[in-house]
Structures are given as structure tokens and as C-alpha cells.
Chains A and B, each alone.
Chain A
Amino acid sequence: AQSVTQLDSQVPVFEEAPVELRCNYSSSVSVYLFWYVQYPNQGLQLLLKYLSGSTLVKGINGFEAEFNKSQTSFHLRKPSVHISDTAEYFCAVSERAGAQKLVFGQGTRLTINP
């Protein structure tokens, strides 16, 4: 079984500041890793995913994440945030075999202040 822990439930930052949203996971098997974003009153949208290869993954809207196998982490970063980045962010994992069911973290609410 897998589990995902997002270490911060809320992260407030000022506009144009950098941000890091932290994600740790636990799994007895190899996994794929995902970050999704949810804007208010909407469904989830994929930001980026790690399947294999380079541990630094670039996604949409200027976000990137780094897979660290030894620390079982997949932290999300953006060098300069915008008001429009205000949303809830979810880290998720899935097994590399089978139906690839997603296991989500609890979510991090990112609030951008002007």
C-alpha cells in the first residue's frame, strides 16, 4: 500500500516570491508521482508527473518538481508566484502496475498575497 503526506496544509506567500510545497510518500513498490492543482469550484488538473528518467520534472505554469528517491520526496517549486496560482495542490502516487489507482495527499492550500 502507498501513502502520501503533504507536510503543509496551508502556505501563504507574497506575489513574486518563490514557493515550495512539500510531499513525502511511502510505498513498498515502485511508483509514479503526480502533482495536481484544483482551482476553486473546479476539478483537478495535472501540473506534472514523474515516470522515469531525469529527477527534475517541469510542468505547466512554471512549476517544477524534483524526485528524491532516497528521501522519498517529490517537492513542488515555483521561483516566482502569481495571484492566479492561488489554489489547492495535491500530490499523488500510483503503482507502476495494474490499474494505476491514485493515492492522494491531504492537499496544500496555496494563498498568494499582493
Chain B
Amino acid sequence: DAGITQSPRHKVTETGTPVTLRCHQTENHRYMYWYRQDPGHGLRLIHYSYGVKDTDKGEVSDGYSVSRSKTEDFLLTLESATSSQTSVYFCAISETGQGATQYFGPGTRLLVL
């Protein structure tokens, strides 16, 4: 298994509070991604990073920000959590190269009350 951990694995929070999810890798891969998984939607890309301090938006980035100060860590912040952000969040990593496989972490289940 690729060395990817996500923390926390489960979180319950209240509407309006900030939340930060962490993805940590031990593979030294260049690319890191945050997706959310919702029933009927599959997985949708929130943000991604192509290097330290290099990030860009994905399909569903509103209400989320990211930071990557070290190769191994990619943080996802919900600036002010809303009930619509209740979801399962997956981090993924991949090497540089055409058609490179993305390896997924175990996920974080977030409930916003």
C-alpha cells in the first residue's frame, strides 16, 4: 500500500466552525489531490497540488482552501463549515508522468451539524 495517512479519520463539527483535514505521504510524490465522495456523484476534485506551495482549484473548490508547505503534507481547510460539506474526503497522490496512477488514502468522514 502507498504510504498515505489521513487525519482525523472521523470528525463531527458544527456549522460555521473552521475544520482542517490533513493528508500525509511518505512516498515523496509530487502531486497531491483532495476529493470529496458523495452518493450519486462519485468523487469530485476539490483542490490539487503539483509541488510545495503550488496549488490549484478543482471542480468543487468553493468554501475550501489548501496549503502545502512540505512535500509530504497537504492540508484541506473548510473555512466555515456548512452542512453541504458533510462528506467523505479522500486524499490521493501520484508521481509525475503520463497516466500515472493515483493512490488513495483511507478517507476522512466529516459530519457538519
Contact = CB atoms under 8 A, between A and B. Distances in A.
Interface of A: 4, 6, 9, 32, 34, 36, 42-46, 49, 51, 90, 92, 94, 96, 99-107
Contacts of B105: 43
13 contacts: A36-B104, A42-B107, A44-B104, A46-B102, A49-B101, A51-B98, A51-B99, A94-B99, A99-B56, A100-B98, A101-B58, A102-B35, A104-B44
Nearest to B38: A106
Interface residues of B, number: 28
A101 B99 contact: no
Given A51-B99, A99-B48, A107 B104 contact: no
B113 interface: no
A94 B33 CA distance: 13
Interface in B68-113: 90, 92, 94, 98-107
A66 to B, nearest CB: 17
A23 to B, nearest CB: 11
Give the interface SS of chain B, mostly helix, strand, loop or mixed.
strand
A105 B98 contact: no
Contact of B45 (A6, A44, A96, A101): A101
Contact of B102 (A6, A9, A102): A102
A90 B35 CA distance: 14
Interface string B29-48: 00101010000111111001
Nearest to A98: B50
Contact of A99 (B31, B43, B101): B31
B48 A101 contact: yes
A49 B43 contact: no
Contact of B94 (A42, A100, A105): A100
Nearest to B102: A102
Given A9-B40, A99-B56, A104-B43, 20 more contacts: A34-B101, A42-B107, A43-B4, A43-B90, A43-B106, A51-B99, A90-B42, A90-B43, A96-B98, A96-B99, A102-B33, A102-B92, A102-B102, A103-B45, A103-B59, A104-B42, A105-B42, A106-B40, A106-B41, A107-B42
